[in-house]
Structure 1
Amino acid sequence: MALGIFINVKAGVATLIVTLLLVPICLFQLDKDKSTDWSKGRNLMFTVCLIWLGYYLLELFNPNNVLDAWNIGFLPYALIPLLCAFLVPLVIRSTKSIEILLFIWSVFVLIFTIKGYWQKNHGFSEKDLFFLYNSGGWRTHIIWSGIRFFSCFSDAANYGVHAAMSATLFGISAFFVKERWKQLFFLFIALCGLYGMAISGTRAAVAVIAGGILMVVVISKNWKMLIGGVLLFISLFCFFYFTNIGSGNQYIFKIRSAFHPTEDASYLVRVQNRERMKELMASKPIGYGIGLSKSERFNPKESMPYPPDSWLVSVWVETGIIGLILYLAIHGILFAWGAWILLVKVRDKRLRGLVAAWLSMDAGFFIAAYVNDVMQYPNQLPVYTGFALCFAAQHIDKQISKEKALTPEQPLNELP
């Protein structure tokens, strides 16, 4: 995506190639490491992702299936969750490793923030203009409320939600790192995320922040954070719902409109479309086929005439009511089990807080996924890394407990 600022890069193909190259290298390195405990990769998340992979493979026999669309969806839809489930608990073995993940992501946050700032203050590049005026992007990015900036992402919705994810994660993580400079750096990255969220004009991004706050206060096991989080949530809700303060600013006005959906014409159209979809989906228990919720480029035998405008609606259209129930059940299990691990099995407060930040980000993301089609590259990577870190956390906590149990005299007694 960073290279895509300057040259044309097919993100799907590039990601597949990189995955096929790096996963075997990673497995080879783990195999050489004598301390690797392979049982960590065979966890509940890996099991449920295998079940989803099985259903994905069965969709090959959907009478309406288009193999090209199925192939394109395989990596983000099925393979990335499975790889994260297996590899993350094997590779991430300490709180320091989690912090390294955050620093890696922060580099990309800085890149897309600079690109977004440049678009807003210095104009669009030739590549951006091609997207807007040759590919039809202007229809959704140059609207009545102003220009929706999209940085180096596929569209403004993807940019806004990803920026909100980073704001949520880094904002929460800043309270669970020891060093002062790390706290300040993470808060700065969170502000970069909030800036990107604002200039994208993506109302669904508000759900990421709100969902993240609600989730973290539930699993924090900290009364101060619980009370502070509830007060913050109520304050934000009252500000946007009951007041008109700042509505002269296009970004605040755009966000405020998300709190009054029944007054929004586009929301009402979506509700009407979903009612019409129900009639068509009644005869499609396994859906129209993977990747065919937006089927203009594939020409299947049958196509859904109404746009899904939501990731979860896309899952419903593509995999049917059977697939949607399975998908929701799997992710419900991941949220419930991940929260249980953090509440019951992880005793180290700093570790619990760092991983809770990832799970809270996931909660906010899936609320946004109900109202917008945001499961696009690169969002799958942090989302499923967040789930997998919960399963890694219980092993990291055991290691921390062992280290704390060692007394200063033990290493000395081993000396000759």
Structure 2
Amino acid sequence: MTNRNTTFHILLAAQFALIAVSMLVNVKTGLFSMVLILLLTTVCLIQLSNGKSTEWKRGQNIMTWLFIVWLLYYIMEIMNPNCVLEAWNINITPYALIPLICAFVVPVVIRTRKDIELLLLVWSVFVIIFTLKGYWQKNHGFSTKDLYFLHVLGGARTHIIWSGIRYFSCFSDAANYGVHSAMAAVTFSISAFFIDSKWKRIYFLFIALCGIYGMGISGTRSAMGVLMGGMLMITIIAKNWKALLGGIFISIGIFVFFYYTNIGSGNQYIHKMRSSFHPTEDASYLVRVENRQRMKELMARKPIGYGIGLAKAGNFDSKEQMPYPPDSWLIAVWVETGIVGLILYLAIHGTLFAWCSWLLMFKVRNKNLRGLAAAWLCMNAGLFIAAYVNDVMQYPNQLTVYTGFALCLAAPYIDKHISEEPEENEDPEEIEKQEPHLIKEPNE
């Protein structure tokens, strides 16, 4: 592995490490994240500039240009009459810098399938840590720091509720933990079927189970959207009728289980998940619908929004404040950037999903590589479904999501590398199935 690969993998690990460290001490993740990302990205770019084989053209892709447009709109938001510069500064990293850095750096740095596998291995270590912390909270109780969050900061209001206790592991809240766990479950369960090593396959399936466990104890209903969205997406990308039928069958089975039966409702976690399939019977959902109607009236005179970072009233001293909570990420984008910003945001991500899907389906021939990249894209699809009902784009999910998009853009280059050097990158039996002319008999 080259230094530039090492630096980028350290960058990913550092983001998760900040969450793990928060078990012990209070960490201002926004500030430390920004410093780490900028520092390690600078080091990575310096290393890339010193490499003769660096292909900078890979970084000049559709994702880079799309997020340059988004960055320009973000900068324009400074002129918003309601703008609070402190809030604008805090949010520039997750809103604009992380997507742009991933778009440019990932396709340049990630050059082989093994690099993608290593990203998964780095992430998996922290999934285990997060799961162990969640398990400890459930079976051995909360730490002093956890109790401070619950009873001093008011977390108990949303985490100790009628359906039981919602566990949050190392994360800022149970919703963030549950969604991140679902993201891991989708990514690792799909990746497990596209790994050559039997032991890695078993390990990845174990990590997926850890994700499902974390999702369950978090009591986060929006996490179901991540799972359902991920499964439906893989049936599209797989280009395989068996995968299509299997995905449809599993999706219908899950829907029927939760919607039409009461099996397992005695379990608080199954009961909580089942309620997500009956939203009109949920009082909190009805309140959200009512709030959004009231927001719509206020947003009619705010085409560029209330200002970056001002979706939640009371966090900053602004001239005007939205009196209703945004309750989801996409609603927060709408409130902060207006209908203009929301349309641009959705157009950018819609274009990314379409382009990445097209690349994986028609430009990547290697089955295992396509599957590994598709796992990240399926995770993203599920996340954006959940983004409509919950604030899922919290730290550290942004880096994971935009790394996933960028890996899809890197995949055609990796595929080309595999086809040019098959003897070093592929199992001979797999090559013979895909490209019989590349295999020669020993006596030829």
TM interval, shorter chain, is over 0.9
Pairing 1:331–2:349 present: yes
Matched, 1:399 2:417: yes
1:408/1:225 Cα in 2 relative to 1: closer, same or farther (>3 Å)?
A: closer
> In the alignment, what sits opposite 2:375?
357
The Cα of 1:408 is off from its aligned counterpart by: 8.1
CA distance in 2, matches of 1:148, 1:339: 35
Change in CA separation of 1:65 and 1:98 when aligned onto 2, cut-off 3 Å: same
Aligned twin of 2:73: 55
What is the CA–CA distance in structure 1 between the aligned matches of 2:41 and 2:355, rounded to whole Å? 26
For 2:92 and 2:143, the matched residues in 1 are separated by 32
Q: Which residue of structure 2 aligns with residue 168 of structure 1?
A: 186
2:85 to 51, 55, 67: 67
In 1, Cα distance between equivalents of 2:109 and 2:242:
33
Q: What CA distance in whole angstroms lies between the structure 2 residues aligned with 1:348 and 1:211? A: 24
Alignment partner of 1:287 out of 296, 305, 310: 305
RCO (CA 8 Å, sep 6+): is it higher in 1 or 2?
1
Query: Equivalent residue of 2:323, what SS?
Result: coil
Instruction: Confirm or deny: 8 A CA contact 2:313 2:323 kept in the other structure.
Output: no
In the alignment, structure 1 residue 218 sits paired with structure 2 residue 236:
yes
Residue deviations 1:174-233 (CA, integer Å, cap 9, x gap): 000011101100000000000000000000000000000000000101121111111111
Residue 4 of structure 2: aligned partner: none
| One of 100, 107, 110 as aligned partner of 2:125 | 107
* Counterpart Cα distance in 1 of 2:248 and 2:342: 32
Which residue number in structure 1 is paired with residue 172 of structure 2? 154
2:112 aligns to what?
A: 94
Question: How far did 1:407 drift?
Answer: 6.1
Q: Deviations over 1:91-134 (max 9, x none)?
A: 11011000000000001100100000000000001110010011
Matching residue's letter, 1:168: V
SS in 2 for 1:5: coil
Query: Do 2:63 and 2:406's aligned partners in 1 also have CA atoms closer than 8 Å?
Result: yes
Once residues 37 and 248 of structure 2 are traced to their aligned partners in structure 1, the CA distance between those partners, rounded to angstroms, is: 41
Q: CA deviation at 1:297?
A: 2.1
Post-superposition offset of 1:34:
1.2
Matches within 5 A, 1:228-239: 228-239=246-257
- The answer on 1:28 being equivalent to 2:83 is no
Normalising by structure 2, what TM-score?
0.91
- Identify the match of residue 213 of structure 2 among 178, 195, 198: 195
Note the C-alpha offset of 1:345. Answer: 0.5
1:342 aligns to 2:360 (yes or no): yes
TM-score, structure 1 length as denominator?
0.97
The DSSP-based 3-state class of the residue aligned with 1:370 is coil
Instruction: Name the % identity.
Output: 67
Distance 1:231 1:343 in 2: 22
CA distance in structure 2 between the partners assigned to 1:309 and 1:150 by the alignment: 18
Q: What is the aligned partner in structure 2 of residue 15 from structure 1?
A: 33
Q: Which amino acid aligns with 1:141?
A: H
Distance 1:132 1:299 in 2: 26
Aligned-residue RMSD, C-alpha? 1.2
- Three-state SS of the structure 2 residue aligned to 1:64 is coil
Report the Cα distance in structure 2 between the residues aligned to 1:287 and 1:182, rounded to whole angstroms.
47
Q: Using the alignment, how far apart are the partners of 1:102 and 1:194 within structure 2?
A: 17
How do 1:292-311 residues align onto structure 2 when only pairs under 5 Å count? 292-311=310-329
Instruction: Give the letter aligned to residue 261 of structure 1.
Output: P
Cα distance change of structure 1 residues 237 and 407 upon mapping to structure 2, 3 Å threshold: closer
- Report the equivalent of 1:240: 258
Q: Are 2:313 and 2:325, in contact at CA under 8 Å, matched by a contact in 1?
A: no
Q: Secondary structure at the match of 2:168?
A: coil
Partner of residue 431, structure 2: none
Counterpart in the other structure of 1:414: none
Q: Deviations over 1:346-394 (max 9, x none)?
A: 1110000010100000000000000001111000011000100111001
Give the number of equivalent residue pairs: 410
Q: Does residue 77 of structure 1 match 2:95?
A: yes
Give, in whole Å, the separation in 2 of the partners of 1:212 and 1:408: 36
Q: Name the CA distance, whole Å, in 2 between partners of 1:297 and 1:331.
A: 28
The list of structure 1 runs, each at least 4 consecutive aligned residues, that deviate by more than 2 angstroms after superposition, is 404-409
What CA deviation, in whole Å up to 9, does each residue of 1:277-314 have, x standing for no partner?
01000000000000000131212100000001010000
Cross-structure match for 2:397: 379
1:413 corresponds in structure 2 to none
Distance 1:219 1:175 in 2: 14
- The separation in 2 between residues aligned to 1:31 and 1:408, in whole angstroms, is 37
Aligned to 1:412: none
1:37 aligns with 2:37: no
Q: Work out whether 1:227 is the aligned partner of 2:245.
A: yes
Instruction: Verify: 1:253 aligned to 2:275, yes or no.
Output: no
Q: What is the CA–CA distance in structure 1 between the aligned matches of 2:438 and 2:368, rounded to whole Å?
A: 21
In 1: Cα distance, 2:39 partner to 2:296 partner = 42
| Aligned position for 2:140 | 122
| Aligned residue runs from structure 1 range 311-330, under 5 A | 311-330=329-348
